Structure 1
Amino acid sequence: MTTSTHTGGGMDVKGVMGSISFDGEWITITKKEVGQQERQFRIRAADVTGTRLKPATRLFHGYVQFVLPGSAPATEEKGLMAGGRPPHSDPHSLSIRHGANEAAQKLMAAVEQARA
């Protein structure tokens, strides 16, 4: 795993089977599924039309999601294993653990600020 060396307030959130980094302009969502190649999705903060953050609890993962023009946000999957999160295949969201709530909140606030 590489560490971020961005200057200018770069931040990273470690999620479930992936991570999100934000360098002030670009959001990079990296996802790794078992047995598959790592995939990266880059989104310009200026292109984001909305953000959703569902904090994780001790029992259930939460998620971070970015909404883009022309794409409806992925719906939450119901069920015990999904715990009300978008599917892992959604390129604009990432599940987070309870310990990542604070980092996720800071990242989302930074993205909201960059959008303004």
Structure 2
Amino acid sequence: MDVKGVMGSVTFDGEWITITKKEVGQQQREYRIRATDVTGTRLKPATRLFHGYLQFVLPGSAPATEERGLMAGGRPPQSDPHSLSIRYSANDGAAMLMAAVEQARS
């Protein structure tokens, strides 16, 4: 299961969540999280005007706060390794990915 986001993607193979990000002027970075280690998930669907996000919460860490402002649109910062901004067209795929992760957690 794969969801293309803004400057990155999230892949879930049933056990591992892989978040791949490519920031401007940076090399591509990859973060791997075991689905059973996730303590919570957050999904904010995108609208036609603003990007949404999906985020995975791990034990001992608080969820990244949403940045305010016109450019951020209520999303976590790009530097947060456990979240990814998504476009409106990716809402359905992101919802299915989050449901699969929630099922794998339990």
Report the TM-score range of the alignment, normalised by the length of the smaller protein. over 0.9
Task: Provide the rounded CA distance (Å) in 2 between the counterparts of 1:12 and 1:100.
Answer: 10
Deviation at 1:35, TM superposition (A): 1.3
- Residues 37-56 of structure 1 correspond to what in structure 2 (within 5 A)? 37-56=27-46
Structure 1 or 2, whichever has the larger Rg, is 1
Gaps of 5+ in 2: none
- Aligned sequence identity (%): 85
Task: Provide the rounded CA distance (Å) in 2 between the counterparts of 1:69 and 1:21.
Answer: 21
RMSD: 0.3
Task: Provide the rounded CA distance (Å) in 2 between the counterparts of 1:79 and 1:90.
Answer: 17
Q: Would you say 1:13 and 2:24 are equivalent positions?
A: no
Q: 3-state DSSP class of the match of 2:32?
A: strand
Q: Partner of 1:71 in structure 2?
A: 61
Gaps of 5+ in 1: 1-10
Picking from 101, 104, 111, the partner of 2:94 is 104
The ranges of structure 1 where at least 4 consecutive aligned residues each deviate by more than 3 angstroms after the TM superposition are none
Q: Partner of 2:85 in structure 1?
A: 95
